[in-house]
Amino acid sequence: MNKLTTLGTHFGSYRIESDGDEIVAVHGHELDPHPSDIGQAYLHRSELRVLRPAVRQSWLKDGPGAHPEQRGKEPFVEVEWDRAIDLASDELKRIRSRHGPEALFAGSYGWGSSGRVHAPSALLFRLLRLYGGYTDVWGTYSSSAAEAIVPYFLGMRYHAAIGRGTSWSVISQHTDLFVTFGGLRRSNTEVTYGGQGTHHTQDWMQKARKNGTEFLNIGPIRDDIDLQMNSRWQPIRPGTDVALMLACIHTLLVEDRVDNEFINRYVHGWNRFSAYVMGDSDGQPKSATWASTITGIDAKTIEHLAEEMSTRRTLINVGLSIQRADHGEQSYWAATALACALGQIGLPGGGIAFPFGAQGNVGAGQVRKRVPGIPIPPRPDTQPVISVSRFRELLDHPGQPYDFNGRSGTYPDIKMVWWAGGNPFHHHQNLNELVAAWERPETIVVQEPFWTPTARRADIVLPSSTPLERNDIGGAENMLISHGRAVDPPGDARDDYQILEMVAERLDLQERFTEGRTADEWVELLYELFRAENDWAPDYEEFRDAGYLRHPEMNEMGENEQVFLSEFRSDPAAHPLGTPSGRIELWSETIAVFEYEDCPPHPAWMEPYERLGGPESDRFPLHLVSNQPAVRLHSQYDHTEPSQGSKVAGREPIRIHPEVAKERDISEGEVVRVFNDRGSCLAGAIIDDSLMPEVVQLSTGAWYDPDSTGMCRAGNPNVLTRDKGTSKLAQGPSAHTCLVDIERFPGPAPRVESYDPPQFTNET
């Protein structure tokens, strides 16, 4: 008889059916009305599993630092676990004693398993902090700019602001106009970091629509909101939203529609900010006419939008894409300034919202009771911390100074990199630059289930099991999931916990790392810690047998009713914000002290390094939107169905407007070359008029596959993006600021090789 186990993932919960050896079916969880198809990837056996520990040939023969230019090119030698762990641990010891802990980079960003015990990077941090630390990272590729700026103007952490955000039930009852910058893509809401529970966003949107909420999509792509929502679409040149927001504020000022009562009571710095908007401080009024030349939207439409927002109950939502761009900090600050001018912050269904359409838990309220993770010791004081997406700079510029969020530091000299649960050769910008920087460390260790582009470029690869192959515990907004082992790991693959326990043993840290527990005992302990704070939760056996728990405080549709900043609005003296003034700050004295030319002390329009109608657009006339893939999670399972089934001409699909295709003689299904000064890639053409004509869309995640010139044959957009920080404040990634051109690829297109297994040898 087939076995049924439960699995929680970043994209939802499933019931996994196996026959003992193989997964035979992946069923959506019975409580989930809209399970994601992404999980169907688990059905497919893959030739790309890492089956045994493997060491790059020259590294094994000649030791650390040997022929780093051969990473990703020469064959691997498979070795026994003991040997691989000895090699990796000896190298940790050598690097630490010779160069100090900061010479080890273990920031290891990425979306590995959603389980709380086998969370690969958390386990790595735990072990290496016990070992004295390493160079670490701050922030995320998702939202660094927002994470850095929001505390300055709202006095709370960005993630706290999301948790306190206005919930869907309130929106569906009260919001007349839901204005979203950066869309409300349904496919993005299938996913939540750390575990998505049941999927409800589309039902909520439909409910709101039925109750009369109108959705207005301000962005470059019409179907960023499901077409069946009958939403309005206002195209805008990517990267210019701040100009539109400022012009709306300008219009409100000149038409005397600003809510001055709100401003006087709840806002700090309005006078200095509005002097900038009116042009008193820099000679340039941020008028609708001014914004029109930047955004491509005509002035009358902008004025009408401002008026409409001020006469209806309006919620202003900013997604994440608009802050993953040059000066991305400003979009969050300017959107909040606009909401202040409208005066609806703290009222049901009005004000400001972050980032609906980026993850499935947004709008669910904050009753989530998290299952704790395996504890990570605090950072040693001496441990250097860089902004996460400055990783390539770190490798390239040892000893050089950098500015970051009010601090300045010096990049340490990285000799060793250890990555567990992430794929930098998918996620980082300007990958061909990263290839060169990646040659600098002497040793690179990667823990991975699959031969990803990153695993292939390692010196020592440690094969990890997948979440299907071990027990764990996970959480989501409205559920707690008991992950059950469905099948055995193939080959010699081992659990992340086991792998790092073996390393801990070599470092004389086994007892401190495990605290005497097996991984399964940790799973039980974490559950018991949760139960100690939730007396309604049943005993562990019952939880294991059921496979999940539903939080009783959550309503049927998985949320908890709340209004963002309602307490602050009702009594600002009793509930001040955590800013220096206790108010929403549109002028920050703290930021002013930093004197950053690229992040002024008030929301401001700053010209990005490139944009349509601006710098570089005469040479590269198309804007590349490299948004999240609908059919997979980032680069995960790109090598199997359903991702492979979405490919066009064997490569990642690129959407092109019919006019652009016609001008360039490109037909549906053909291979195109996408290029700029930084690089090029191939992609398969889909002709679609849902885009602005000057915009092309190529999702992230195709497995990086450079030919000898660096052209990616599989269609990874990160050969085209620029690796530059948003500003000195967040130093966040700016992937969404990117101009390109495209052409039909002449002649037969080269085969994609990144889905072939790597080469092995016995020779050392």
Ligand X SMILES: Nc1nc2c(c(=O)[nH]1)N[C@H]1C(S)=C(S)[C@@H](COP(=O)(O)OP(=O)(O)OC[C@H]3O[C@@H](n4cnc5c(=O)[nH]c(N)nc54)[C@H](O)[C@@H]3O)O[C@H]1N2
Q: Which residue numbers are catalytic?
A: 109, 111
Give the residue with the Cβ less far from ligand X, 113 or 274: 113
CB nearer to ligand X: pick between 115 and 684: 115
Buried b (16+ CB within 10 A) or exposed e, 302-340: bbebbebbbeebbbbbbbbbbbbbbbbbbbbbbbbbbbb
Is 717 a binding residue for ligand X by CB under 6 A? The answer is yes
* Residue 490, preceding peptide bond in cis (omega within 30° of 0): no
Neighbours of 107 (CB within 10 A): 24
Task: Please check whether residue 250 is in contact with residue 287, taking contact to mean a CB–CB distance below 8 angstroms.
Answer: yes
Question: Closest by alpha carbon to 621, among 631, 630, 610?
Answer: 610
Q: Of 191 and 460, which CB lies nearer to ligand X in the complex structure?
A: 191
Q: At 593, is the secondary structure helix, strand, or coil?
A: helix
362 near ligand X, rule: CB under 6 A: no
Instruction: Spell out the SS3 assignment of 538-579.
Output: CCHHHHHHHCEEECCCCCCCCCCCCCCCHHHHHCCCCCCCCC
Residue 329 interacts with, from Mo ion, ligand X, none (CB under 5-8 Å by kind): none
What mask of x and - would describe binding to ligand X in positions 323 to 352, judged by CB under 6 A? Answer: -xx---------------------------
Q: Which two tokens stand for residue 694?
A: 């000057």
Where on the phi/psi map is residue 91: left (φ > 0), alpha (ψ -120 to 50), or beta?
A: alpha
Closer residue to ligand X, CB minimum distance, 398 or 693: 693
Binding region for ligand X (CB under 6 A) out of 152-160, 231-239, 303-311, 740-748: 231-239
Q: What whole-number distance in Å separates Cα of residue 323 and Cα of residue 73? A: 36
Least CB distance to Mo ion at residue 324 (A): 8
Residue with tokens 């499933």, as numbered in its chain: 14
Rounded-to-integer distance, Cα 579 and Cα 616, Å: 39
Q: What is d(CA 425, CA 545) in angstroms, rounded to the nearest whole number? A: 40
- Tell me whether residue 41 or residue 267 sits nearer to ligand X (CB atom): 41
The 8-class DSSP code of residue 33 comes to S
Does 200 sit near ligand X (CB under 6 A)? no
Residue of 155, 194, 195, 220 that binds ligand X (CB under 6 A):
220
Q: Which is nearer to ligand X, 343 or 355 (CB)?
A: 355
Among Mo ion, ligand X, none, residue 458 binds (CB under 5-8 Å by kind)? none
- Residue 185: which of Mo ion, ligand X, none does it interact with, CB under 5 to 8 A by kind? ligand X
Site for ligand X in 445-484 (CB under 6 A): 447-450, 452, 464, 466-467
User: What mask of x and - would describe binding to ligand X in positions 534 to 573, judged by CB under 6 A?
Assistant: ----------------------------------------
Q: Give the position of tokens 């974490």.
A: 526
The SS3 call for residue 439 is: coil
Nearer residue to ligand X within complex by CB, 144 or 588? 144
Residue 354: CB minimum distance to ligand X, A: 10
Q: Does the footprint of ligand X cover residue 269 (CB under 6 A)?
A: no
Q: Report the partner that residue 460 touches, choosing among ligand X, Mo ion, none (CB closer than 5 to 8 A by kind).
A: none
Count of Cβ atoms closer than 10 Å to residue 193 Cβ? 13
Binder of ligand X out of 671, 735, 740, 742 (CB under 6 A): 735
Q: Does 700 bind ligand X (CB under 6 A)?
A: yes
Q: Sign of the CA dihedral 378, 381, 384, 385? A: positive
Task: Return the residues of window 43-72 that contact ligand X according to CB under 6 A.
Answer: none
79-138: which residues touch ligand X (CB under 6 A)? 110-113, 118, 120
Among 64, 163, 421, 441, binds ligand X (CB under 6 A): 421
The CA distances from residue 125 to 121, 148, 651, in Å, are 6, 22, 36
Closest by CA position to 513, among listed 582, 505, 83: 505
For the bound state, the minimum distance from the C-beta of residue 358 to Mo ion, rounded and expressed in Å, comes to 8
Query: What is the x/- site pattern for Mo ion, positions 137-156, by CB under 5 A?
Result: -----x--------------
Options 171-179, 309-317, 321-329, 475-483: segment touching ligand X (CB under 6 A): 321-329
One-letter amino acid of 702: A
The three state secondary structure string of 76-142 is EEECCHHHHHHHHHHHHHHHHHHHCHHHEECCCCCCCCCCCCCCHHHHHHHHHHHCCCCEEEECCCC
The binding site for ligand X (CB under 6 A) comprises 110-113, 118, 120, 141-142, 181-183, 185, 187-188, 190-191, 218-221, 224, 236, 238-239, 241, 319-322, 324-325, 355, 357-359, 420-423, 426-427, 447-450, 452, 464, 466-467, 496, 625-630, 633-636, 700, 717-718, 721, 735-736
The binding site for Mo ion (CB under 5 A) comprises 142
